[in-house]
Amino acid sequence: MNLLDGKLVSEKIKEQIALDAAEFTTQTGRKPHLVAILVGNDGGSETYVASKMRNCQLVGFESTNIRYDENITEDELIAKVKEINQDESIDGLIVQLPLPKHIDPDKVTEAIDYRKDVDGFHPINLGRMQRNLPCFIPATPYGIMLMLEYYKIDTAGKHAVVVGRSNIVGSPMSILLARNANPGNCTVTLTHSRTKDLKAEVLRGDIVVAAIGKKNFVTADMVKDGAVVIDVGINRETSTATKSGFKLYGDVDFENVAPKASWITPVPGGVGLMTIVGLLKNTLEAAKGTIY
With CB under 6 A as the contact rule, the residue among 94, 112, 162, 208 that binds ligand GUN is 94
**Which range of residues in 95-103, 200-208, 209-217, 220-228 is near ligand GUN by CB under 6 A?**
95-103
Nearest to 55 by CA among 284, 288, 292, 291: 284
What's the min distance (Å) between Cβ of 117 and ligand GUN? 10
Q: Which of 119, 206, 231, 253 is catalytic?
A: 119
Q: Half-sphere exposure of 289 toward its Cβ, with a 13 Å CA cutoff?
A: 4
Q: How far apart are CA 163 and CA 192, in angstroms?
A: 6
Minimum CB separation of residue 94 from ligand GUN in Å reads: 4
Q: Is 162 in the site for ligand GUN (CB under 6 A)?
A: no
- For 230, phi then psi, to 5°, come to -110, 120
**Do the strands 92-95 and 187-191 form a parallel or antiparallel pair, or are they unpaired?**
unpaired
Whether 117 is catalytic is no
Report CA dihedral (163, 168, 169, 174) to the nearest 10 degrees.
90
Q: Establish whether 166 is an annotated binding residue.
A: yes
Residue with Cβ nearer ligand GUN (66 or 97):
97
Residue 264 engages ligand GUN in binding (rule: CB under 6 A): no
User: Which residue of 21, 139, 147, 257 would you call a contact of ligand GUN, by CB under 6 A?
Assistant: 139
Residue 164 counted as an annotated binding residue: yes
Per the CB < 8 A criterion, the answer to whether 211 and 232 are in contact is: yes
CB of 112 to ligand GUN, least distance (A): 10
- One-letter amino acid for residue 256 of the chain: N
Q: What are phi and psi of 107, to 5 degrees?
A: -65, -40
Interacting residues of 102 by C-beta distance below 8 A, sequence separation 6+? 73, 74
DSSP state of 230: E
CB closer to ligand GUN, 122 vs 128: 122
Residue 157's CB: how many other CB atoms inside 10 A?
9
CB of 109 to ligand GUN, least distance (A): 9
Let me know if 96 is a catalytic residue: yes
Q: What is the DSSP letter of 143?
A: H
Asked if 119 is part of the footprint of ligand GUN (rule: CB under 6 A), the reply reads: yes
Q: Which of 137, 145, 168, 277 binds ligand GUN (CB under 6 A)?
A: 168
Task: Give residue number: closest CB to ligand GUN.
Answer: 97
- Annotated active-site residue 224? The verdict is no
For ligand GUN, the closer CB: 8 or 97: 97
Q: Shortest Cβ distance from residue 67 to ligand GUN (Å)?
A: 14
**Encoded amino acid at 75, one letter:** D
- For residue 125, give the DSSP letter: H
The reply to whether 165 sits in an annotated binding site is yes
- Going by the annotation, the residues of the binding site for NADP(+) are 164-166, 234
Sites of contact with ligand GUN (CB under 6 A): 94-97, 119, 139-140, 168
